[in-house]
Amino acid sequence: MRIVIIGVGKVGMTLTEYLSAEGNDVTLIDTDQEIIDNAVNSFDVNGIMGNGVNFSVQQEAGVAHADVVIATTYSDEINMLCCLVAKKIGVRHTVARIRDPEYSRQFSFMLGEMGLDMIVNPELETAREISRLLRYPYAIRIDTFAKGKVDLAEMKIAPDSPLDGMQISDIQRKLQVRILVCAVQHGDTVYIPRGDNVLYAGDHIHFTASHRDLNAFFRKMGAFHHKLKNVFIVGGGRIAYYLARQLIDLGMNVKIVEKDEARCKFLKESLPKAQIVLGDGTDQTLLAEENFADTDASIAATGIDEENIILSIFAIQQRIDKVITKISKTTLTDLLEAVGLDSVVTPKLFTANLILSYIRALQSTAGGSVQTLYKLVENQVEALEFHVEKESAVTAKPLRDLNLKKDLLICCIIRKSNIIFPGGDDVIQPGDNVIVTTTSEKLTDLEDILK
């Protein structure tokens, strides 16, 4: 695929890394020569310095023959304009990052009329992920497949957990819940499990389950008998805005601490049910005054990573049930687990995952196209959802007769509203959605699961 990325910030750089590693022809456009030089040195891509809205710059970048243009500059308006120009030049697909809540209500208009094929809103996606985590606080991370029918959760096995020392094939029988473990991180190694693998305390497991089973499973794990009710958000940016809107709808009490007075007024105006506090969220006196220690969940979502980390460490000390930290730089993630911060959300990764699944879907050939894609365990595992459109090599035979690749697991088949954890006798049918996890090379089509 020929892909042009306009605006090489955090998201642009992450996409550049993923997309070029998958063998796509990537060309970058940015106004900063230094950023271009840096990217060209680090990845096998081409770069052009210039304004991405400029017709001739886009022509030089080969937009006329490109498959996808992705606009991820700092400004929503520039992104829209880039895509509009690119569409006129003749690119087939456009993706724009649009963040402003004001535009988020008119996405359908923009998709139809403004030459955009896909819109991503990192802050909205982040808010959704945080809200999922607050509903299932025992999970470190929750993603959803099949329009929310199936959840993919990550959890760390506690030292006194019943899972410690349990064989994977025994989980369903012993705990009486239907979950399927689809990837395990044990120390520094990652593996796609088979029935005879044994889990240990300290392992991170990734598993799929329906909402009901997920609830039941977490109850069996013995934590959080009460629902989280009071949520404390520090930093009143876009994430806080989107998140508060969702949490208020779920009936939670939301308190937002924000430094900027004008922003506070805006938040109060648009979120009348939320409690808005003007002040510095890292100030301990303020936190004490606002009863921080008694809250159920703390969400550090300021624009500064360091502040977020410090606040979250403080929150853990105060024994707050659920602590979520927003981090922009991924270089720090290893450190965070060491200091006890499990639930870390990174907006750029959500955006990159979304765009990546969109591009994989464009590349699919026959058997079934990618619907959703998540990268797990620092990109070592991919979890993909395919939609099976018609008969193909994978639908012909029961699973036991398919010659599947190594390091690959068919986790789940979603047939209408049923969730099937497949055994050897099951057959994939047209119309199904199939969820697969793999550590091997990239899959663009369901047929790629075969050797």
Partner 1 sequence: MNVRYIINMLGKLLFIEALLMLAPFIVAIIYGENTIIAFGISMAILLMVGGVSLLFPPKNNTIRAREGLLITGLAWILMSLFGALPLWLSHEIPHYLDALFEVVSGFTTTGASVVLDVEAMSYSCLFWRSFTHFIGGMGVLVFALAILPATGTQSMHLMRAEVPGPSVGKLVAKIRLTARLLYVIYVVMTMILFLLLMIGGMPVYDSLVTSFATAGTGGFSVKAASIAAYANPYAEVVITIFMLLYSVNFNLYYLILIGKAGSIFKNEELRWFLAIVASAITAVTINIYPLYQNFWHALRDSSFQVATILSTTGFATANYDLWPNFARTLLVILMFLGACSGSTGGGIKIARVAVIFKTAVNQVRKQLFPRTVVPVKFEGKLLGDQMQSGITSYMFAYIAVVIFSILLLSFDAFSLTTNFTAVAACINNIGPGLDVVGPTGNYAAFSPLSKIVLIFDMLAGRLELFPILVLFAPVAWKKN
User: Could you list the residues that contact partner 1 (CB under 8 A)?
Assistant: 2, 20-21, 25-27, 33, 40-46, 49
CB of 63 to partner 1, least distance (A): 13
Does an H or E element contain 16, and which? helix 10-21
Angle made by CA atoms 316, 320, 322, in degrees to the nearest 5: 90
Angle made by CA atoms 315, 318, 324, in degrees to the nearest 5: 25
Judged by CB, which is closer to partner 1: 19, or 345? 19
Distance CA 90, CA 31 (A): 22
Q: Which tokens belong to 23?
A: 């063998």
Judged by CB, which is closer to partner 1: 25, or 426? 25
Distance CA 198, CA 201 (A): 10
CB of 406 to partner 1, least distance (A): 21
CB of 32 to partner 1, least distance (A): 11
Judged by CB, which is closer to partner 1: 2, or 268? 2
Angle made by CA atoms 365, 368, 374, in degrees to the nearest 5: 105
Residue 362 C-beta-side C-alpha neighbours within 13 Å: 19
Q: Which tokens belong to 194?
A: 């088979």
Tokens 């929503």, residue?
A: 76
Judged by CB, which is closer to partner 1: 26, or 356? 26
Q: Judge whether 65 and 37 are in contact, CB under 8 Å.
A: no
CB of 298 to partner 1, least distance (A): 37
CB of 191 to partner 1, least distance (A): 21
Q: Judge whether 156 and 271 are in contact, CB under 8 Å.
A: no
Judged by CB, which is closer to partner 1: 1, or 85? 1
Judged by CB, which is closer to partner 1: 45, or 311? 45
Judged by CB, which is closer to partner 1: 3, or 349? 3
| Helix, strand counts (H, E) of the chain | 15, 22
CB of 305 to partner 1, least distance (A): 24
Judged by CB, which is closer to partner 1: 44, or 289? 44
Distance CA 168, CA 155 (A): 15
Judged by CB, which is closer to partner 1: 46, or 169? 46
CB of 119 to partner 1, least distance (A): 25
Judged by CB, which is closer to partner 1: 67, or 447? 67
Judged by CB, which is closer to partner 1: 12, or 367? 12
DSSP assignment string, 288-317: HHTTGGG-SEEEE--S-HHHHHHHHHHHHH
β-strands 150-156, 141-145: how paired?
antiparallel
CB of 25 to partner 1, least distance (A): 4
* Phi, psi of 220, deg, nearest 5: -65, -30
Nearest to 91 by CA among 71, 121, 120, 112: 71
Name beta bridge partners: 181.
207
Distance CA 34, CA 341 (A): 34
CB of 163 to partner 1, least distance (A): 34
Phi-psi region of 109 (alpha: psi -120 to 50; beta: other; left: phi over 0): alpha
Does an H or E element contain 376, and which? strand 368-376
CB of 27 to partner 1, least distance (A): 5
CB of 362 to partner 1, least distance (A): 17
